[in-house]
Amino acid sequence: MSIATLDGALGDSQRVLVDSSAIIALHTSTDRVHALAEHLFSRIQDSDDSLVGYYSVVSAAEVLVRPIRSGPNDYAYMHAFLRSFPNLHELPVDFEVALQAANLRAAHNLRTPDAMIVASGLLAGVESIATGDESWGRRLQPMFPGFTWLYLPSHV
């Protein structure tokens, strides 16, 4: 996927869910989609762009593991990123998210963390979901045809 293809796929979307893999790609310069992640997050950060980003607290748990293991500086950096990156908002997990996730898991056999992340975005009204997991769009597109599934094939 190129930057032009990413922008074209986003179209008029104003709300995008960024999966753990997109956040990790942004912070991993050797990731093959690092440039795409940088572009996506630069659009989210730009106050003149209508695109706003969201992430599930499940993604926060996933992306904080390596920085916690690496030490206080890496942890402080990622914590600050998640808490203060402009126009990027956390989505909590509550009973409604759990119920939607259970439905997704039952109908499409998504892993529980993935189902929780997708459910968070669906209930928040996002129009696009950026993920490194190609199966999300393949499995869920028929059920949610109005969503744009942005597959960012992230591999270091």
Query: pLDDT by residue (tens digit) across 64-104?
Result: 999 999 999 999 999 999 999 999 999 999 999 999 999 99
Burial label, 48 (beta-carbon count in 10 A; 0-12, 13-18, 19+)? exposed
Query: pTM for this one?
Result: 0.90
State the residue range of the domain holding 74: 3-91+126-151
Instruction: Specify if 114 maps to a domain.
Output: no
Number of separate domains in the chain = 1
Predicted pLDDT of residue 137:
67
Predicted pLDDT of residue 29:
86
Instruction: Specify if 84 maps to a domain.
Output: yes
Predicted pLDDT of residue 156:
45
Tell me which residue has tokens 């997704």. Answer: 104
Q: What is the mean pLDDT of residues 40-62?
A: 96
- CATH number of domain containing 134: 3.40.50
